[in-house]
Amino acid sequence: MLLVLLTALCCMPTRLTACDDTLVMLLTSTNPASEFSKSIRSFTNSLTVLGSALKNKPADSYDAEMNQVMDSWLEFSKKYMTSPPEEARNDRRWAEKTSETARFIGEIRKLVSNKNFGEAHDKVLDLSGRIGTFFESFGVSDEKQLFIKTSGNLTSLERFILSANYGEAASLTAELHKNLDEFKPLLPASFSSEISKTGTLIDGIAAGIIKKTDPTVLDASLQEVKAAFEALRSHILMFEWFPALNQPRQEN
């Protein structure tokens, strides 16, 4: 778990991923060696690679990345398509979720084959935002439920910004402010400056949406917001794992 935290802290400034790999690592950290943990991480990682390639690496073909997604999903579905893992044995919607994911992958594959790369990236983001639903019955803590919700809102906001859907994007900036308010009581008062800066970043995006600023410019600002939220999340986890850090320091 410490390795997960350190990885998150080291990688945040440059991450431009389609889905929150670090969050998936956290959600599977109680049993990282299980077949389910390895399978879901492999799938989300391949989805990240495809999404990042579609967004940042112009090419004539993304067949290799698409095949990686399909192969990892095939491995996942062979084990869990209709039979959930032990952690999700009470999830009555499991089969529905896996079927929906398979449908998304089919649509993404068709878009990539037809070279509709922009739409394919949008669909990858949409699917990425739904990954958290696989953990609904895992009994995760309230804090991690908040992390899932915030990650989903950030991914959806990226999708709406890149497609210049300013109306939907505006509503999500309001949601992110609510998420930030929920982060506040989980952090010491000494983090008020970081919380304030994150709120300012969200306000900047909201103002840009009103002005219908170019999506590329807004997306760059959104990456800063993502990094800010992930930094706050990492500190929350640090205080959870190492409670002594949250004790007031003794003055010399």
Q: What are the residue ranges spanned by the domains of the chain?
A: 17-139, 141-241
Please calculate the CA angle 8-162-218 and round it to the nearest 5 degrees.
70
Q: What is the pLDDT of residues 92-131, one digit of tens each?
A: 999 999 999 999 999 999 999 999 999 999 999 999 988 8
The candidate with the shortest Cα–Cα distance to 26, out of 52, 44, 50, is: 44
The candidate with the shortest Cα–Cα distance to 114, out of 150, 61, 58, 73, is: 61
The chain-wide mean pLDDT, for the chain, equals: 86
**Average confidence (pLDDT) over 128-142:** 85
Whole-model pTM? 0.80
Whether the domain at 17-139 and the domain at 141-241 fall into the same CATH topology: yes
User: What's the pLDDT score for residue 12?
Assistant: 38
CA 173/CA 175 separation, integer angstroms:
5
User: What's the pLDDT score for residue 242?
Assistant: 57
Instruction: Give me the percent of the chain exceeding a pLDDT of 90.
Output: 64
137 with 90: CB under 8 angstroms? yes
Q: Give residue 24's pLDDT band: very low, low, confident or very high (50, 70, 90).
A: confident
The candidate with the shortest Cα–Cα distance to 144, out of 106, 93, 182, is: 182
Q: Which residue has the tokens 């390795």?
A: 3
User: Could you tell me which CATH number the domain at 17-139 has?
Assistant: 1.20.120
Q: Is the pLDDT of residue 252 over 50?
A: no
User: What's the pLDDT score for residue 245?
Assistant: 53
Q: Is the pLDDT of residue 16 over 60?
A: no
Q: What is the pLDDT of residues 175-200, one digit of tens each?
A: 999 999 999 999 999 999 999 999 99
Residues in the chain, overall count = 252
Domain 141-241 is of which CATH architecture?
A: Up-down Bundle (1.20)
Residues 6+ apart with CB under 8 A from 248: none
The candidate with the shortest Cα–Cα distance to 232, out of 136, 140, 146, 133, is: 146
